[in-house]
Structure 1
């Protein structure tokens, strides 16, 4: 959910509503008028001077900002403000990223929160090193792939989403704790204070929050805890302008702030999660079939974060760092870039560039679907997929004169492994996986991009998977659970091997693609996006636009998008703004079939990025229009 410009003025009235009952409607005010903040007091009731409180007078939303010191870009003004606030008080980029993410858990609850997980890519300036913090959700120890079948057939996707079966063991809180312990300067108690305050004071419901609630209306009406939080007395979405408060989430944050990660993975919060998954809180009389799951207390207690090396490739004069498995994002982006590197894109027309971009994405997605899964369960041929020689062997499959028809077959990256022998993890069985489905592109997620004055950088994608997760608010604790296990493949034949089928303790394959780009050993760019499997193509298109076509980073990020993910039909999704352009007509003349993304999920991605300039300044960029526009700020204006 993005920060919406048209409700800033409403925010100013929140300070007047300290005595309002929860979720009381405000009168609307004019668009664009700066408002007084809703966070002028510390969470413990103490006061702070407005000169030290960035939330006391909320600024106008700006999708682009340049300056010195630290910088932040998120989909929501308060998330960005929380990050800048921490940076100004001496915290580093990791501290600021956790502060921003926790605030987004309150203001963007349909996209992220403590009920989910994520991938955090961190550049450590002092060590000139990039590390990846994997806090992806895991399948419960009692879950087998057979749980996703009934009467020999896969459970319908929509039925699986709203169920206890789809809930992975949440990793967010342990991920935050591990990131702060290893690389931060503050603790959970310090960085959660603003999120506590925002959840407790509330904020004005805007158009997007209202619409997101509406798209979840049927299942929220069927789940008692979700109905109680997100719907009004009439069982409908809270109207635009309502002061939406979440005191249960504020209390959950307080428990974590005081008790650390154990307060989430043990005790009352953990017990409430287990109860909600195993006995979904269904409204009496509801006909919605919400299947129970199998999460047990030990699954929460035993959840572990993985700190992994980033994967990397070179592209022209740049080094691209990304997230490795169990995310497919970094590998798929890198393979597509390796394919594109064989073309001199600077000399080509925009149509020729896009034609090659679509062809490279198609081939990379074929390999993604066939080979990639949790590295603790599958010996995926990562070295082969990242091999420049492998890209050379595959590049000729991109017909320069016409669009392909149908889906591409996967290649044979095992032949390009530095060590081609399979391990007991089952690499050869992964080779028998099919090209995979044309994964949905409309999943809600959010991306946070932050840097600090010392040069540390965080590119952080976090999620609860679909918009609204699995639809179930944990009773008494104010956060939605994820439906991340729907990211596992469920073949029509239960016996069919695939690297991404469910297994106990396994992490489902992701598309999240936090990315950090270096040039001459120095940071050049950090970026990523939400958007399900379109995350990969969004990052790829932005990189091509900025590096090859020379677009300024804000223009590369704002450009209309087109996404090819190896669809069986051969078609590519295109934003409405792209359709009808000369580039679209040129692609169609080559035989490309373009499907309007508005019929398959709407906008493609909602990215944020940082560009590190040669003069020592940084440019922070968020979407100017998608999801109603994001927020970018710098620590020190020029």
Structure 2
């Protein structure tokens, strides 16, 4: 247990800061840059985005080209068979967000994952049709392009079509993903034919793979727009795969596919130490979880503590426990259930939650609070699930527009179903498969047309002078907010370059007593000190970490990519 002297050292000045009102971001002259920048989890996707910038395209054009290319070169993580969340801001700081999250078929209900009175296990639910939601990425891209694009729609498909037609090489990371997934029931024949040999083993590293079916899909959508994806042959292919899947076939109709719409959403914005931070609202839990965790930490001097002090990581874990507890209880699709977003990020409420955090000891237990607007909601608390098939990318163009975009198909290779050369998602397993908990309806239960709760946390950060400072996001399921929180603290509090901030280890405390620390990192070495602070369950774990960012330093975009990944940032 830390000494009383240590507690006193940090407690006194911090309480004063908690009483200060949250400031408004200062206005600044519009930002322009000599060159734009793209950061993505695969250098071939980054290059596709940078090519759009070189042609005079916008950050949105670049991000769409990245998303399309990742469908090909990182098919186990994201793509047009899944969905995404998109945050964009112009040089004036005005933010728009687009929800491209997948939707459940109209026939879905809260018994969707119940068989013979028992809730399906996650491994049983993933493969085949039960887990597939109507994909949203193409609709999202089309909406974003209408609002913020500069290049012709068809131009954005050029790099992905060329790679699909001419071939791309299997990288070490992709090979590892194939090897780890080879025994999975999610891998069905079309995927096996693309990436595995006759012996059932993944094709070797360096093998050139061509995907003519995906090239044809891209060409059709490039010519016909989003309509070519949500109607006609492609829509019929989606419906056929889902309804006749070799495992878990389920009803999905052409009307379900044709009726999909990407939605403009209100951004979730707040401040942290005079910095303005904006992210996604429901069905994402990312915006509220990131802001709540940071705001609860605002009264603690993390800069003075420093990254090498176990007390700093203890405080981060404690704040995360509180924020994740609220996330688990309240976050869901706000079109279907009331979500008290404003209350969850209310400074007064978060000051009350922050008061529960003690730098010298661990909270004995954690539960969701009652934010303003939630007083009469009878909702069950649930725990976060785990998805791994996600990718984040950021882009900034020379005119000062910035995009933070996270795309996903949920698990590795999604449902395993392939249509037109791309994998269909298994996003419906992001719903609470058990619709009732402690006799109350789960906020995030399955309903027809509903979008499952997401952990994706695409975020933009502005300095106190009103200038863009950081575009950041991550992949890795429920760890995503934790990764984004770590990156923002690294840049703001510990004054690290974004590249070094993304290299920091991660502590993950998802609203329960157990605290996960990144296995093999120097943070694991803090286990005795964290135990002394009362964290009795410290679990070293290989976490699914993969983040990308672009920061602005002295008026110049500087890219960053998680050193654990094959990601790369490329300037135009």
| Superposition TM-score, scaled by structure 1 size | 0.81
1:355 aligned residue (303, 314, 317): 314
Cα-to-partner distance string for 1:58-82 (whole Å, 9 max, x where unaligned):
xxxxxxxxx9410111111111111
Matched, 1:402 2:361: yes
The aligned counterpart of 1:377 is 336
Q: Where do 1:73-472 residues align within 5 Å?
A: 73-125=39-91, 127-219=92-184, 223-280=188-245, 282=246, 290-348=247-305, 350-405=309-364, 408-413=366-371, 416-417=372-373, 428-429=376-377, 431-434=378-381, 436-440=382-386, 443-472=388-417
Q: State the 1:483 CA deviation.
A: 0.3
Q: Where do 1:528-567 residues align within 5 Å?
A: 528-567=473-512
Asked if the contact 1:448–1:459 (Cα under 8 Å) also holds between the matched residues in 2, the reply is yes
Q: State the 1:186 CA deviation.
A: 2.1
Query: CA distance change for structure 1 residues 492 and 190 in 2, over 3 Å: closer, same or farther?
Result: closer
Gaps of 5+ in 2: 1-32
Q: State the alpha-carbon separation in 1 of the partners of residues 442 and 185 from structure 2.
A: 34
Asked if the contact 1:154–1:492 (Cα under 8 Å) also holds between the matched residues in 2, the reply is no
Matched, 1:509 2:453: yes
Q: State the alpha-carbon separation in 1 of the partners of residues 384 and 51 from structure 2.
A: 41
RMSD (CA atoms): 1.8
Cα-to-partner distance string for 1:367-389 (whole Å, 9 max, x where unaligned):
01111110101111111111111
Q: State the alpha-carbon separation in 2 of the partners of residues 174 and 579 from structure 1.
A: 41
Asked if the contact 1:545–1:551 (Cα under 8 Å) also holds between the matched residues in 2, the reply is yes
Aligned residues: 535
Matched, 1:610 2:547: no
Q: State the alpha-carbon separation in 2 of the partners of residues 496 and 231 from structure 1.
A: 45
Q: State the 1:501 CA deviation.
A: 0.4
DSSP 3-state at the match of 1:529: strand
Q: State the alpha-carbon separation in 2 of the partners of residues 172 and 134 from structure 1.
A: 9
Q: State the 1:492 CA deviation.
A: 7.0
Q: State the 1:228 CA deviation.
A: 1.9
Gaps of 5+ in 1: 1-66, 283-289, 423-427
DSSP 3-state at the match of 2:441: coil
Q: State the alpha-carbon separation in 1 of the partners of residues 208 and 380 from structure 2.
A: 49
DSSP 3-state at the match of 2:434: coil
Q: State the alpha-carbon separation in 1 of the partners of residues 186 and 232 from structure 2.
A: 28
| Superposition TM-score, scaled by structure 2 size | 0.90
Q: State the alpha-carbon separation in 2 of the partners of residues 305 and 353 from structure 1.
A: 40
Q: State the alpha-carbon separation in 2 of the partners of residues 492 and 311 from structure 1.
A: 27
Query: CA distance change for structure 1 residues 492 and 128 in 2, over 3 Å: closer, same or farther?
Result: closer
Asked if the contact 1:370–1:433 (Cα under 8 Å) also holds between the matched residues in 2, the reply is yes
Q: State the 1:580 CA deviation.
A: 4.4
The aligned counterpart of 1:14 is none
Asked if the contact 1:328–1:368 (Cα under 8 Å) also holds between the matched residues in 2, the reply is yes
Query: Larger deviation: 253-262 or 550-559?
Result: 550-559
Q: State the 1:623 CA deviation.
A: 1.5
Q: Where do 1:588-627 residues align within 5 Å?
A: 588-592=531-535, 593-598=537-542, 602=543, 604-614=544-554, 616-624=555-563, 626-627=564-565
Cα-to-partner distance string for 1:599-623 (whole Å, 9 max, x where unaligned):
xxx4x42111111123x21111112
Q: State the 1:499 CA deviation.
A: 1.0
Q: State the alpha-carbon separation in 1 of the partners of residues 244 and 282 from structure 2.
A: 32
The aligned counterpart of 2:433 is 490
DSSP 3-state at the match of 1:560: coil
Q: State the alpha-carbon separation in 1 of the partners of residues 456 and 250 from structure 2.
A: 25
Query: CA distance change for structure 1 residues 306 and 221 in 2, over 3 Å: closer, same or farther?
Result: closer
The aligned counterpart of 1:587 is 530
Query: CA distance change for structure 1 residues 302 and 154 in 2, over 3 Å: closer, same or farther?
Result: same
Q: State the 1:259 CA deviation.
A: 1.0
